[in-house]
Amino acid sequence: LEGLAYSHRQFSSYEPELFPGFIYHMIKPKVMLLTFVSGKIVLTGAKVQEEIYTAFNTIYTVLCEFRKP
């Protein structure tokens, strides 16, 4: 998560001593993603279900680049 936070620092924050999740603020759709070391992802802020699908599909490829081998 640290590498992901560094490469996307303009949209994200990761401070494990304050909060155990990686926080990513998407612009379009306006959704916030919380990603945890366990692999669980929480999406919040969506107004309609379609925004959740769009946000997940957008971030999924980014998360796959930083997945543990």
Q: What is the CATH number of the domain that holds 15?
A: 3.30.310.10
pLDDT bin (cut points 50, 70, 90) of residue 4 is confident
Q: Residue 2 pLDDT > 80, yes or no?
A: no
Task: Provide the domain limits for residue 43.
Answer: 2-65
| Helix, strand and coil percent figures for the chain, each rounded to 5 | 35, 25, 45
Cβ burial 1-30 (10 Å sphere, 16+ → b, else e): beebbeebeeebebeeeeeebbebebeebe
Rounded to whole angstroms, how far apart are CA atoms 5 and 18? 15
pLDDT score, position 8: 79
Domain count, the chain: 1
Where would I find the H helices in 1-69?
Answer: 2-7, 49-65
pLDDT in tens, 7-62: 878 888 999 999 999 999 999 899 999 999 888 999 999 999 999 999 999 888 88
Q: Residue 66 pLDDT > 90, yes or no?
A: no
pLDDT score, position 57: 92
